[in-house]
């Protein structure tokens, strides 16, 4: 089963043990490499990876022209064609090299196994950008109802790493694109998650323009959150002042004298009722007693 390890990378057998039993050629033999026409092979539309480095593809295609496709593609037989499970980059490079045939290993897997293998291969080759990786994790969670620790086990990452990855999808869409374009790092992006989506983009652009480090970004976000908190507090106090003003007018009307309210904070303060004669004081006491 050596060929399978070369294709899938170290540790896949422990991540998806069912795959060992699922590999079959069309003739029924396990782990068999066959040659098929490149025109009969198509990529998986649901595979996690969306972006391919053209320069890297060109470099790989030059190597393929000289040595051929050394590592077979993993494919699943569909009606009228073979769908790539792992190896789309090799397939693209082979097309660029004008190959007529490519080596494949034909597998029979469930849809969940196909997603897992595609994800694992890309992660092991570090081919996915952070947003593609997060979307693949989310798909495993939502479509196949896996738990975060189960996803983490399959891709040989910690549960915290998977959770932090998925959190990136809470970012403003334009900020996600900045992560994809490597304008900001995932460290910058995670710091921005504390901000509202409208504020995230403006801050992300500031990070890019001013070449801020992650530490500087964290300090910037902290300042913005404190400013927001102070602004919210001031707005709340302004509302209270208007409310107190209305209450003062009601008390003035009821008591027939000047009344002032001096708040200490949102919950406590002092009410001052002015009187000018003993008779007025007695009248106010009588009113207060009667409620």
68, 72, 118, 250, 268 from 78: Cα distances, Å: 25, 18, 17, 79, 72
CA-based max dimension of the chain: 111
CA–CA separation, 248 and 261 (whole Å): 7
Q: Which one of 54, 62, 88, 279 is the catalytic residue?
A: 88
Bridge partner list, 273 = 259
Q: Is 288 exposed, middle or buried (0-12, 13-18, 19+ CB in 10 A)?
A: exposed
* Cα gap 282→250, rounded to integer Å: 20
Catalytic residue flag (residue 174): no
Beta strand pairing status for 81-86 and 73-78? antiparallel
DSSP 108-138: ---HHHHHHHHHHHHHHTT-S-HHHHHHHHH
In this structure, are residues 19 and 113 in contact, taking their beta carbons and an 8 Å threshold?
A: yes
**Active site residues per annotation:** 88
């Amino acid at each position: 089963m050596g060929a399978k390890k070369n294709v899938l990378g170290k540790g896949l057998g422990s991540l998806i043990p069912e795959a060992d039993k699922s590999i079959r050629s069309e003739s029924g033999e396990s782990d068999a490499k066959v040659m098929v026409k490149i025109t009969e092979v198509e990529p998986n539309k649901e595979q996690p990876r969306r972006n391919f480095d053209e320069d890297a593809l060109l470099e790989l295609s030059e190597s393929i022209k000289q040595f051929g496709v050394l590592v077979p593609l993993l494919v699943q037989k569909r009606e009228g064609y073979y769908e790539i499970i792992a190896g789309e980059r090799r397939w693209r490079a082979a097309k660029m090299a004008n190959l007529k045939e490519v080596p494949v290993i034909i597998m029979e897997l469930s849809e969940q196994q196909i997603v897992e293998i595609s994800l694992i291969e890309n992660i092991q080759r570090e081919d996915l950008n952070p947003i593609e990786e997060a979307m693949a994790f989310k798909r495993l969670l939502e479509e196949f109802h896996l738990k975060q620790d189960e996803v983490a086990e399959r891709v040989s990452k910690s549960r915290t790493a998977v959770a932090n990855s998925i959190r990136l999808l809470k970012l403003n869409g334009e900020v996600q694109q900045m992560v994809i374009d490597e304008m900001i790092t995932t460290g910058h992006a995670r710091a921005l998650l504390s901000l509202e989506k409208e504020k995230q983009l403006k801050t992300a652009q500031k990070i890019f323009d001013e070449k801020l480090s992650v530490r500087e970004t964290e300090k910037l976000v902290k300042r913005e959150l404190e400013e927001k908190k102070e602004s919210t507090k001031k707005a709340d106090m302004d509302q209270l002042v208007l409310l107190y003003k209305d209450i003062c007018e009601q008390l003035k009307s009821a008591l027939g004298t000047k009344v002032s309210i001096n708040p200490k904070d949102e919950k406590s303060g002092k009410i001052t009722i002015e009187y000018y004669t003993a008779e007025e004081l007695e009248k106010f006491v009588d009113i207060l007693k009667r409620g």
